Structure 1
């Protein structure tokens, strides 16, 4: 990677966007300390709301500026919430000498009660957010097809908010993003199917999307309003991660400007505790979204998140059921085999169903066995060399890229890209492999993914990229990634096989011990027989009765010896 680009990406990833020290100008911030509601922080524009300058509010009680009924509503709201939770709507009421109608949200963080206030235009009223969200949910709930569901989601959010463009944006396993559904004004170019590089939404931004489900920028050309004072009681910058009014990164504002976007909103889609994607909304002119509409969008977003999480869970359950059926059948067959280790060679087709893959391979005693789409035996040294470089000593080793396991000639890999390997016996270099075929993709990027920033001749970043024109790329050498569910399935299979492997080794060891015991008994009986023969030769005078008894003993020893010899041959054959 270009060093200047690498440095720019690192700078972007390190930007403390939650410590901006300012809010957007369409609202006001008052932060108080309980139990006496002492004001510790205010936004610099607060005089417009309360009629009192910041210096006359700091260290005074909130009761001097808000009515008791509003303070009571705020207290009840924080009583139901948890510290660190996203802001919750507390009340709608009149504030200040002009009795401005305001929407009030509140949350608790770092020992302070943070009150965010947004003036609202006087109107005939708005529909209940709950009723609006229920109507939206009813319109999408009947869709079982994921593509149709995503499209309906985009259409419902656009109908609710009135934005020029609404997209469902899904994160891929490599953290790049792809527009999987879109509802837009016909005058706008289509973004459906476009992919965006990971750097467009860096790690710290994705973390904030997890913590704060709704993010709104009514006018991206705004001038930030500082918070006074800008430091907390410990002298550190005020953490604004949970604030809906938080001023966003200047880089993001420039990014929106380069796209021709003036107003935006995002709704987080969360599945299994991870950020699955976003419902991203864009508008070409400033656009306010009332808190009631945002509340309805938030509830709708929660439903979308639960629906997607449920679908992913159902898919995972179906895959696990198929894998468990194959695993249980395999365990039964190995349990009935005289040597489970050797029996594994004839069960490759069943193994191929135990983990979702295109092919399977097994190396035992230096020999290669395979089924389905798998490299031929000439690739075994390359695979083992990759394992020696990658294996940490325990557990599975995996990759999705041909260049990892076959770096010298990735173009000559028999169409195989993904490999997941399970160690069966590290001392003997015995491994079980699962393979996935290469997926050739024609990707349409929104601008060049290798040029996410504008960089000057000195290598300094001067801003985000200005072009979002579709840029085509053919991606080769990669397979579908091994998911966490794949690794869990492989882990269960590994545990079962290791148990059978140990059982087979114990069976072989006991067989060897039995064979050695038989051989020792044969030698002992042979010695006794020779001793009797020598004794018989040394006897001159024996009675007929004694001769008969000796003869019977020798005959018995001969029969026992013959029987032991037969047992030894059988043991060696096993």
Structure 2
């Protein structure tokens, strides 16, 4: 059988380290050995080249063999358990091989089970036991109040347990730049406390592995990687070692550690809310290996820190939260009259600055501008509000560096880089808190700028001396307690604004109701005047004109006087008809009868007998009424509606042909405007209509023709429209000049 190693020997440097496949190095550290077995057959598929020095069997002898041919049955039972475990879980067991105790770590990797064997060394004595180490953790709760104090005592405890030269606790910011927040070290070492490290020190794929494998040891940075071998027939050429404890390390990272003059390291991941919050890193100047007991102890310390993060941060923010809460309560606790002037009281109060420790506050509400403290000008605030109304997707946005959002905001960001913005959901209406620039000096652990070596190859930093850098165009960040207080004020303001607007609308409605009531009373007076004071003189004029026209006196008068009397009689009749139509129009609006089910076929039969027969006979016209539906409506109003439309057709008949008026049901053939309607069509073949005026004809007093040639008051079709509105419907018209008009009546189908 032939074999080959799976060492990943591709060239790695800082040009491609972000893409380095560090989870499949194909090699391990030499302080243990590795085997991988097929999870179905338990055949050994991968073996490290150094297994012979630990168990006296070469990798050539191990590969292709069944696991039970080489190892004890108890380990085989352990492998059986691994098969049913979660893929991201590592389990351990101790076993004696060749008179040496080993700690065996095993986990699943695709279709294989990876087993790593490390010689078991006991490093705890009776005075420094795991029990005593764990017992100390309980005292940390009583002796520390803040997260930094807790990190300090954990760093000291881990140094006491592990005996490393230096123990660092550091946390990441949102961009994964690290800051050392606690340190315990040997006196001769330079301090790293307070220093920052750029995110490039730990690439993204390395951070991903720290999430999965929370404890990482490099026993000797000068180690020579041990390659892994497989048989030539094995198809998968790589083995995922993401959860491996022996996994070989990136050469870039080894070079980085050598530049720091570090001989061995231990790293514990601090994971909070499923994210890499920070790390505990231990450095030693010489090679160093830890027992399983010590590994468990330091891992427990790491879990303890992460379990306390929320509580300790809340404790640290308590004073800020109390201060902001007091400021908020002093504002929202005031009794308000819920009037426009209360807006000024709410947003022009200097206490509002203390809600989130800002230097200024502005509000734009219904085109009114309010400001408190040190703020941009009204013009610049409105420019900013316009930008944010389009940029911000939700109701809220805050930043400590406005310039990083857009270079176009320099007119604000130069003085106020920090803003806390809330939309009031009405175009550009908003409230904004401001913070001035806070120039902050950050000290890096060496110049974070990457440079080239003499061979033009990008290399890790060689210097880790303190390097000062100034951060500009930033304000202090907005804390959770401050944002919580401003959000509460925003909600309180929204509720009060809505209440004020509702009360104003209610008052407007009350005033409009009063005006409408007074107007209706005036209209009633006008109706009374129209009925009595106007019609009485008209009746007398018509009576006197009739006497003159009907008697012999008219013939004795000059012809021009006769014509004037006839015109006077005609004008009086038109005036009386106009007053009658106006009364009908106003009566339609006041009518509040209940709707009835009306068979339009019967209604037309009654209408024909009462009003239409004489009109059609005298005008030699034809009325055709097809089968019509039953609708809901007010009978006398519908009679008025249909009578007006038919008489309108008679009035505008064509002199070129006999008039024909057809009434039909078009419910199934015409567009129903998205709702269900009964559609009644009144079509004639009269003089027609230019569709430019198809809406104008329904306006009161609108006339398209000469009033001398075509009589009427101009109210008939307006009355038809009003009747249709009364029936929750509408009316439309379309026509062709010289050919006729079609009127469509839309009655809702309930």
TM-score by length of 2: 0.61
Q: Counterparts in 2 of 1:458-497, with a 5 A limit? A: 461-482=457-478
Contact 2:401 2:413 in 1 (8 A): no
Preserved contact between residue 324 and residue 481 of structure 2 (Cα < 8 Å): no
The answer as to whether partners of 1:214 and 1:267 remain within 8 angstroms in 2 is: yes
The 3 A distance-change label for structure 1 pair 526 and 480 is same
Alpha-carbon distance, 1:52 to partner:
2.1
Q: Distance in 2 between matches of 1:372 and 1:214?
A: 51
Q: State the SS of the aligned residue for 2:190.
A: coil
Does the CA-based 8 Å contact 2:123-2:294 persist in structure 1? Answer: no
Q: Does 1:45 align with 2:45?
A: no
- Is contact 2:444-2:467 (8 Å) kept? yes
Written as runs of structure 1 = structure 2, the 5 A alignment for 1:80-159 is: 82-85=86-89, 87-91=90-94, 93-95=95-97, 98-121=98-121, 130-141=130-141, 142-159=143-160
* Distance change (3 Å), C-alpha of 1:165 and 1:82: same
How many angstroms does 1:45 deviate by?
1.7
Shift of 1:223: 1.6
The residue that corresponds to 2:371 in the other structure is 370
Matches within 5 A, 1:375-414: 375-384=376-385, 386-387=387-388, 390-392=391-393, 394-404=394-404, 407=407
2:306 aligned partner: 305
Q: Which residue of 2 aligns with 1:439?
A: 438
Tell me the equivalent position of 1:552: none
User: What aligned pairs does 1:31-70 form with structure 2 within 5 A after superposition?
Assistant: 31-34=36-39, 36-70=41-75
With over 3 angstroms needed to count, the CA separation of the structure-2 counterparts of 1:406 and 1:37, relative to structure 1, is: closer
For 1:318 and 1:489, how far apart are their aligned partners in 2? 13
Measured after TM superposition, the shift of residue 281 of structure 1 is 0.8
Q: CA deviation at 1:213?
A: 1.5
Q: Distance in 2 between matches of 1:145 and 1:115?
A: 41
Partner Cα distance (1:297, 1:230) in 2: 38
List per-residue Cα deviations over 1:493-535 (Å, max 9, x = no partner).
6566556555555555555444444333322212223444676
Indicate the SS of the match to 2:447. Answer: coil
Is the contact between residue 331 and residue 346 of structure 2 (CA under 8 Å) also seen in structure 1? no
Instruction: State the secondary structure of the residue aligned to 2:115.
Output: strand
Aligned-residue offset at 1:63: 2.2
Q: 1:455 aligns with which of 448, 452, 455?
A: 452
Shift of 1:308: 2.3
Report the equivalent of 1:549: none
Match of 2:228 in 1: 227
Gaps of 5+ in 2: 1-11, 538-750
Aligned to 1:555: none
- CA distance in 2 between counterparts of 1:63 and 1:306 reads 42
SS for the counterpart of 1:257 is: helix
**C-alpha separation in 1, matches of 2:502 and 2:232:** 67
Cα pair 1:375 1:414 within 8 Å, conserved: no
Partner Cα distance (2:337, 2:395) in 1: 26
Q: Distance in 1 between matches of 2:105 and 2:82?
A: 9
Verify the 8 A CA contact 1:398 1:419 in the aligned structure 2: yes
Q: Contact between 2:103 and 2:118, CA under 8 Å: does it hold in 1?
A: yes
1:158–1:164 CA contact under 8 A, matched in 2? yes
* TM-aligned CA deviation for residue 257 of structure 1: 0.6
Any idea what the Cα deviations from partners look like across 1:292-345, whole Å, max 9, x if unmatched?
211111112111221223323556788778878877887787996246994685
- What is the aligned residue count? 524
Structure 1: runs of 5 or more not aligned: 1-6, 541-574
After superposition, give the CA deviation of every residue in 1:447-472 in whole Å (9 maximum; x if it has no partner): 222x1x332589x5431011111111
Deviations 1:150-185 (A, max 9, x none): 221211111111111111112123321111221111
| 8 Å CA contact 2:24, 2:238 repeated in 1 | yes
Are the equivalent residues in 2 in contact too, given 1:140–1:152 (CA < 8 A)? yes
Q: Distance in 1 between matches of 2:147 and 2:262?
A: 28
| 1:348–1:361 CA contact under 8 A, matched in 2 | no
Post-superposition CA distance 1:387-412 (Å, at most 9, x none):
266334x3323321142468468598
> Is the 8 Å Cα contact of residues 63 and 230 (structure 2) preserved in structure 1?
no
Alpha-carbon distance in structure 1 between the residues aligned to 2:362 and 2:65: 74
Q: Does 1:11 align with 2:12?
A: no
Is residue 13–residue 252 contact of structure 2 (8 Å, CA) maintained in 1? no
Distance 1:348 1:274 in 2: 41
CA distance in 2 between counterparts of 1:192 and 1:180 reads: 6
Distance in 1 (CA, whole Å) between partners of 2:532 and 2:224 is 119
- CA drift of 1:368 comes to 2.9
How far is 1:30 from its partner? Answer: 1.8
Tell me by how many angstroms 1:99 deviates: 2.4
After TM superposition, give the deviation of residue 255 of structure 1 in Å.
Answer: 0.5
Q: Using the alignment, how far apart are the partners of 1:494 and 1:293 within structure 2?
A: 52
Q: Distance in 2 between matches of 1:490 and 1:59?
A: 67
Q: Greater relative contact order (Cα 8 A, min sep 6): structure 1 or 2? A: 1
2:287 corresponds in structure 1 to 286
The answer on whether the counterparts of 1:406 and 1:413 sit within 8 Å (CA) in structure 2 is: no
Q: Secondary structure at the match of 2:469?
A: strand
Confirm whether residue 23 of structure 1 aligns to residue 28 of structure 2. Answer: yes
Could you say which residue in structure 2 is the equivalent of 1:417?
417
Confirm or deny: 8 A CA contact 1:441 1:474 kept in the other structure.
yes
TM-score (norm 1): 0.78
Q: Distance in 2 between matches of 1:478 and 1:182?
A: 28
CA distance in 2, matches of 1:231, 1:341: 83
Question: 1:356/1:72 Cα in 2 relative to 1: closer, same or farther (>3 Å)?
Answer: farther
